[in-house]
Structure 1
Amino acid sequence: MLRTIGLQLHSAITGSYVSGTHSVVFVNCPNEQIAKDIARAVLDKKLAASVNILPQAASLYFWKGEIEEATEILLLIKTKTSKVFMLSSYVRLVHPFEIPEVFSLPMDQGDVQYLKWLEEGMEED
Structure 2
Amino acid sequence: MERPFLVYTTFPDAETALAVGEALVRARLAACVNVIPGMRSVYAWKGAVEQGSEVVAIVKSREGLAEAVSAELKARHPYETPILLHLAVAGADPDTAAWILAETGTPG
Is TM-score (shorter-chain normalized) higher than 0.5?
yes
TM (normalized to structure 2)?
Answer: 0.94
RMSD, aligned CA = 1.1
Structure-2 residue corresponding to 1:106: 88
- Greater share of strand residues, 1 or 2? 2
- Deviation string, structure 1 residues 32-76 (Cα, Å, up to 9, x no partner): 110000100000111011111111111111111000101100001
2:19 paired with 1:37 = yes
TM (normalized to structure 1)?
Answer: 0.82
Aligned-partner SS, 2:21: helix
Larger Rg: 1
CA distance in 2, matches of 1:67, 1:102: 20
Could you list the structure 1 runs, at least 4 aligned residues long, displaced by more than 3 angstroms after superposition.
none
Unaligned runs of 5+ in 1: 1-10, 12-17
Structure-2 residue corresponding to 1:3: none
2:68 paired with 1:86 = yes
Give the total of aligned pairs. Answer: 107
CA distance in 2, matches of 1:116, 1:76: 18
* Greater RCO, CA 8 A, separation 6+: 2
Q: What is the identity percentage for the equivalent residue pairs of Structure 1 and Structure 2? A: 24
CA distance in 2, matches of 1:91, 1:82: 16
CA distance in 1, matches of 2:67, 2:41: 25
**C-alpha displacement at 1:100, in angstroms?**
0.5
